[in-house]
Amino acid sequence: MTWALTDAAARAVVEPDFRALPLASSADAALSRARSLGAEHCDVRISRERVRAARTRDGRPLGVGLDATTGVGVRVLVDGVWGFASGDRVDPEAARRTAELAVAMARVAAPAAAARVSLADEPVHADRAWTTPVAVDPFSVPDDEVLDLLVARSARLLASADVHHVDAEARAFRDITYYADSAGTSTLQQRTRVDASCTAFRVGDTGFDDMSTCAPPTARGWEYVTGADGAWDWEAELAQLPDWLAEKAAAPSVEPGRYDLVIDPTNLWLTIHESVGHATELDRALGYEANYAGTSFATPDQLGTLQYGSPLMHVTGDRTAEFGLATVGHDHEGVAAQRWDIVRDGLLVGYQLDRRMAAEHGFGRSNGCAFADAAAHVPMQRMPNVSLQPDPQGGDLERLLAGVEDGLYIVGDKSWSIDMQRYNFQFTGQRFWRVRSGRLAGQVRDVAYQSSTPAFWRSLRALGGPSTYLLGGALNCGKAQPGQVAPVSHGCPIAVFEGVNVLNARQEGRA
């Protein structure tokens, strides 16, 4: 299986019943009608979103759900003002009427427009296709086979005396989009994603403890969930989970103070997402999200001068990363996928852009970050895969631990909190080991690490090598009003941070 398919091969993979829809004729009807009504720009998205979810509790099936939506979204620029409309019918006449409504919306909005919109130039990409390559289509696997896998994994965990309850689930997501615009770009894309987890619970005298598998969601097929592709060692993790849970339940509570932290990618991806990914969305930095999701301390006047982190810090935005949840061939404005620097040598050097922001703020070209989660929603700037690059000469976990006299090794994500400027934060995790004189010295519990974004990233002291790099991520990054969700991956190596403030979460909760 190869990640980059030819246009013809990618087109053939797209679901046949979607390809059978009158895609081109419907888009042509909308584009022609918008032009005839005076639109200087028009783009059309015909999309389908599918979700499949299965869940078990204590080895008992709770069912399998399947949901799908299909629709058409038309966006226009009329005298520099946006108009948007959508509908659930895919045929030329319905698309034509949707375009008429979009133009009407632009004219209604014109008196309230604070400024006229211009779009950064983008080469024409005609008749292009892209898909997520998968070995086994997760939507083709029989329900019984999905549930049997979850039941078997639950039974394995429940066989341990230290596990009293188990929740298990497997999910698959697919979005298919046909895009066409008035410049001549047309693309057909199909993205597939899977996610699976098992959570073990232990009930004791003082309450309950839980621990989950750490396998990240990914742009792969069912072969990832079963472990057939070797991308995640499910068997090894499930075998160790009961012992880890029992050790956690018996572990002493952490003493608050400053520690060197060795943070695993299964935890650090979320810190990257919240403190770097969201902070470098240009619309947020410009204040567009202030009413809902907040702003950013990383404002445009600091571009090229803000010391975001230590010189070791190299963060990229990437819409091309292999198996990335935000990986595409083209975004929802027809912009080709790219990779670029956001933080280089610790300095803020880039933002995430769509075509409007790129034109208005002197960036020249969009870096392909426009996305809408359904035909009924307007495209907006959404996060690419934002990743911390490894040290090419960096070591493995053992070598990184060897340089730590007094610290903590943190694995797995859990709860988090960050302020509206993405500046002050705290994160917890799933497993915490004390590190003494370069060696793991047993688990502790109730750990939360707290810092400001610049102080934390400036304390970055060492990075693992490529062998420690892992692509984590989330399927449900939220933004905007009306709310939209987007999938996004964050890669990183194991990393060492010096002198980070650690709180005792249990004590803080009682304060």
Residue 245, token pair as written in the block: 């849970």
Q: Domain for residue 244, yes or no?
A: yes
H or E stretch including 109?
helix 92-109
Does 4 have pLDDT greater than 80? no
Residues 109-135, mean pLDDT to the nearest whole number:
96
Q: What pLDDT does residue 397 have? A: 98
Residue with tokens 């001549």: 184
Candidates 9, 206, 34; CA nearest to 106 is 34
Q: Residue ranges of the alpha helices (H) in 122-251?
A: 143-158, 222-226, 234-250
Of 189, 220, 250, the domain-final residue: 250
Q: Are residues 246 and 262 in the same domain?
A: no
Q: Residue ranges of the alpha helices (H) in 253-393?
A: 265-272, 282-285, 355-360
- Assign residue 235 the CATH number of its domain: 3.30.2290.10
What is the span of the domain harbouring residue 65?
7-250
Does 206 have pLDDT greater than 80? no
Does 119 have pLDDT greater than 80? yes
Q: Are residues 244 and 352 in the same domain?
A: no
Residues 341-368, mean pLDDT to the nearest whole number:
97
Q: Are residues 169 and 292 in the same domain?
A: no
Calculate the alpha carbon distances from 87 to 30, 75, 102, 399 in Å. Answer: 12, 12, 11, 57
Tell me how far apart the alpha carbons of residues 75 and 48 are, in angstroms, rounded to a whole number. Answer: 17
Torsion from C-alpha of 364, 368, 372, 378, nearest 10 degrees: 10
Q: What pLDDT does residue 2 have? A: 61
Q: Domain for residue 100, yes or no?
A: yes
Look over the chain and give the mean of its residue pLDDT values, rounded to a whole number. Answer: 96
Candidates 169, 229, 160, 233; CA nearest to 201 is 160
Q: Are residues 107 and 220 in the same domain?
A: yes
Q: Considering the chain, what percentage of its residues have pLDDT values greater than 90?
A: 95
Q: Are residues 202 and 334 in the same domain?
A: no
**CB-based contact 202:144 (threshold 8 Å):** no
Residue 84, token pair as written in the block: 């948007």
Q: How many CB atoms lie within 10 A of CB 8?
A: 8
H or E stretch including 8?
helix 7-13
Does 5 have pLDDT greater than 90? no
Does 10 have pLDDT greater than 80? yes
Phi then psi dihedrals of residue 45, to 5 deg? -120, 125
**Tens-digit pLDDT profile for residues 61-111:** 999 999 999 999 999 999 999 999 999 999 999 999 999 999 999 999 999
Q: Are residues 341 and 323 in the same domain?
A: yes
DSSP 438-500: TEEEEEEBSEEEEEEHHHHHHTEEEE--GGG-EEEEEEEEEETTTTEEEEEEEEE--EEEEEE
Q: Are residues 245 and 266 in the same domain?
A: no
How many distinct structural domains can be found in the chain?
A: 2
Residues 33-49, mean pLDDT to the nearest whole number:
98
Does 434 have pLDDT greater than 90? yes
Of 200, 226, 250, the domain-final residue: 250
Residues 6+ apart with CB under 8 A from 389: 314, 315, 316, 493
pLDDT bin (cut points 50, 70, 90) of residue 207 is confident
Does 1 have pLDDT greater than 60? no
Of 202, 228, 250, the domain-final residue: 250
Residues 301-327, mean pLDDT to the nearest whole number:
98
Residues 481-510, mean pLDDT to the nearest whole number:
94
Residue 128, token pair as written in the block: 């292009």
Does 185 have pLDDT greater than 60? yes
- Taking only Cα atoms into account, the Rg of the chain, rounded to an integer number of angstroms, comes to 24
What does DSSP assign to residue 401? H
Does 169 have pLDDT greater than 90? yes
pLDDT bin (cut points 50, 70, 90) of residue 511 is low
Q: Domain for residue 1, yes or no?
A: no
Phi then psi dihedrals of residue 164, to 5 deg? -105, -25
Candidates 69, 26, 17; CA nearest to 45 is 26
Q: Are residues 159 and 264 in the same domain?
A: no
Does 374 have pLDDT greater than 60? yes
In DSSP terms, 318 is beta-bridged to: 339, 385
Q: Domain for residue 408, yes or no?
A: yes
Q: Domain for residue 143, yes or no?
A: yes
263-300 burial: b if 16+ Cβ within 10 Å, else e = bbbbbbbbbbbbbbbbbbbbbbbbebbeeebbbbbbee
Q: Are residues 230 and 274 in the same domain?
A: no
Burial (Cβ within 10 Å: 0-12, 13-18, ≥19) of residue 260:
buried
Q: Are residues 210 and 268 in the same domain?
A: no
Residue with tokens 């296709």: 129
Q: Domain for residue 86, yes or no?
A: yes
Q: Domain for residue 2, yes or no?
A: no
Q: Residue ranges of the alpha helices (H) in 204-342?
A: 222-226, 234-250, 265-272, 282-285
Q: Domain for residue 51, yes or no?
A: yes
Residues 33-42, mean pLDDT to the nearest whole number:
98
Residues 242-246, mean pLDDT to the nearest whole number:
97
Q: Are residues 270 and 362 in the same domain?
A: yes
- Which residue type occupies 76? V
pTM: 0.97
**Tens-digit pLDDT profile for residues 314-325:** 999 999 999 999
* The residue count for the chain: 511
Tell me how far apart the alpha carbons of residues 183 and 467 are, in angstroms, rounded to a whole number. Answer: 43
Does 34 have pLDDT greater than 70? yes
- Which residue type occupies 324? G
Tell me how far apart the alpha carbons of residues 213 and 233 are, in angstroms, rounded to a whole number. Answer: 10
**DSSP 3-state of 370:** strand
Q: Are residues 237 and 272 in the same domain?
A: no
Tell me how far apart the alpha carbons of residues 198 and 212 are, in angstroms, rounded to a whole number. Answer: 6
Tell me how far apart the alpha carbons of residues 194 and 53 are, in angstroms, rounded to a whole number. Answer: 10
Residue with tokens 């907006």: 380
